Structure 1
Amino acid sequence: MNQINTCTLIKNAMTIDVEDYFQVSAFEKHIPRSSWDSIPCRVEHNIEKILGLLDEKQIKATFFTLGWIAERYPQMIKRMSENGHEIASHGWGHARVTDLTPSEFKEDIIRSKAVLEEISSRAVVGYRAPSFSINRKNLWALDCLAEAGYRYSSSIYPVQHDHYGMPDAPRFAYFPRGESGVLELPVTTVRLWGRNVPAGGGGYFRLWPYTVSKWFIKRLNGIESHAAIFYFHPWEIDVDQPRQQGVGFKTRFRHYLNLHRMEKRLRALIHDFQWDRVDKIFLN
């Protein structure tokens, strides 16, 4: 079977990390959590655009959602669930696992799971750590997830990055703590030049020309015969979001680069490949 035909048969996982622009880890020194309730949220409008985009090809996706957001916008969560999308947890208030004790982490994942299940009336079995903040030093978090009833995690990114990453971790689905634990589903990378290159969305999708991202996923589907796991955030399609003052050049570059191109690229992506929910692809 040639590469093109393989790409048309493999379903990839489309995932959205549901948080607002002021909740990203890069802004935490500039926007304290104590001020979040006083900042107008833009997430509802952006989610509506995303749902419309997915509907163009009847795509179902997985929404890794903050409990803080769900508690304030329950109708948005119900709409996502009623439309056939998977609701998964992104923690409660976007606290990185590296900043939490085991007891604080347990409270966080249990609280977020409970509110998401109550609103969606569906079991929540998936989790993604804010900023991919599970690494070799806190693998105990995976045990906590299993104890809390989660079945999979997408929290260990096998790349070298200044804020996260475990570059020597497996690139594809595996059980870090044995088959009785949670299944880890790393965001997609491709192996080039002796290293893992990010190929599954986020800021890299805005950085690379679309043809590069398309080539990455075609290579993964066609040559390696694996499903890709792609992710993005609602604020990445929000060109009109307020610009933060006083942030460093690197942070400003990473956050605002090519926001105006994001929606067009997403539309091309959903039309060029097959997509589905994480649980439908990896748990069935």
Structure 2
Amino acid sequence: MESDPVISNALTVDVEDYFQVSAFEGHIRREDWDRLPHRVERNTDRILQLFADKGARATFFVLGWVAERYPDLVRRVADNGHEVASHGYSHIRVTDHAPEAFRADVRTTRRLLEEVSGQPVKGYRAASFSIGRDNAWAFDVLQEEGYRYSSSVNPIRHDLYGMPDAPRFAFTANAQGLIEVPISTVPLAGRNNPCGGGGFFRLLPYPYFRWGMRRINHMEGQPGVFYFHPWEIDPDQPRQRGIGWRTRFRHYVNLHRTEDRLKRLLGDFRWDRMDRIFLGEEEHA
């Protein structure tokens, strides 16, 4: 299949290390993060090279914790023409934040990322897609703190996250005009089915994702939104012991296939940054 001649899809990377995922938060203490082997820099550099080889531009949602320790990595992301956006400071779910703690988190992280990257930070993605009906106040806080869009909703049913009744495509999230850009889904059998990356991209056959993205582009005339993490191209990462079978399966399934699948996806579609697609920013932005 050739690249779509009109529609660019949003390519996004959640820049966090393997030990920072929500599934491990009851197994690995935050105070131990600095004692563990770090692999986020080398994995993100591999992604930057992969994108350069394919001529793709992307948005990198970076943890403040990572930016503080690897400022040169964040600068390389910006210098390669990608958008730097916020993933919060230390991957705390919004559902675990009081409003003022959330405000402090997104304010601190935005300032840090702007200082390091040298570019304005317009976008935010919540850890584990943890903004929903019960904490929609977070959209107002983001707006007040200078963010222009969020990508924090995954409109599916899932045991850990999800807002299945949310719009499937970009919508205005509050009265002040903050844009929410959900992760891509396709409707099947009366429900939204995942088609935007993450663990589902490793689990389900690649042709399903190609079909889903083509449906979104050609039948619905909309840009898709795809995400993954640097640790998902790293099958040699340290394996955690003492975790449940479901967590083990979700985290480690098909890590050895992710990079090749990404190469196919990058070749099959056109990809760009979130701010250009959903905010209409110019290429020099």
Same fold (TM over 0.5): yes
- Say which of 99, 114, 117 aligns to 1:117: 114
Shift of 1:5: 8.3
Distance 1:9 1:144 in 2: 35
Distance 2:112 2:224 in 1: 29
What is aligned with 2:70? Answer: 73
Residue 41 of structure 2 corresponds to residue 41 of structure 1: no
AA at the equivalent of 1:267: K
Say whether the 8 Å CA contact 1:94–1:130 is kept in structure 2: yes
AA at the equivalent of 1:181: G
What is aligned with 1:187? Answer: 183
TM-score by length of 2: 0.97
Residue 243 of structure 2 corresponds to residue 247 of structure 1: yes
Residue 31 of structure 2 corresponds to residue 53 of structure 1: no
Say whether the 8 Å CA contact 1:201–1:230 is kept in structure 2: yes
Residue 7 of structure 2 corresponds to residue 13 of structure 1: no
Gaps of 5+ in 1: none
Shift of 1:155: 0.3
Identity of aligned residues (%): 57
- Say which of 141, 148, 165 aligns to 1:151: 148
Encode CA deviations 1:25-72: one digit per residue, 9 max, x unaligned.
Answer: 000000010101111210011011101110112211000000000000
Shift of 1:6: 9.1
What is aligned with 2:283? Answer: none
Residue 174 of structure 2 corresponds to residue 166 of structure 1: no
**Equivalent residue pairs, number:** 280
Alignment of 1:22-33 (within 5 A): 22-33=19-30
Encode CA deviations 1:110-132: one digit per residue, 9 max, x unaligned.
Answer: 01001000001110000000000
AA at the equivalent of 2:214: K
Gaps of 5+ in 2: 281-285
Say whether the 8 Å CA contact 2:3–2:270 is kept in structure 1: no
Alignment of 1:122-141 (within 5 A): 122-141=119-138
What is aligned with 2:214? Answer: 218
AA at the equivalent of 1:182: L
Residue 250 of structure 2 corresponds to residue 233 of structure 1: no
Encode CA deviations 1:220-254: one digit per residue, 9 max, x unaligned.
Answer: 11111110000000000001000100110110010
Shift of 1:156: 1.2
What is aligned with 1:84? Answer: 81
Distance 2:241 2:37 in 1: 17
Distance 1:144 1:209 in 2: 39
AA at the equivalent of 1:155: S
Shift of 1:8: 3.1
What is aligned with 1:63? Answer: 60
TM-score by length of 1: 0.97
CA distance 1:221–1:6, shift in 2 (3 Å):
farther
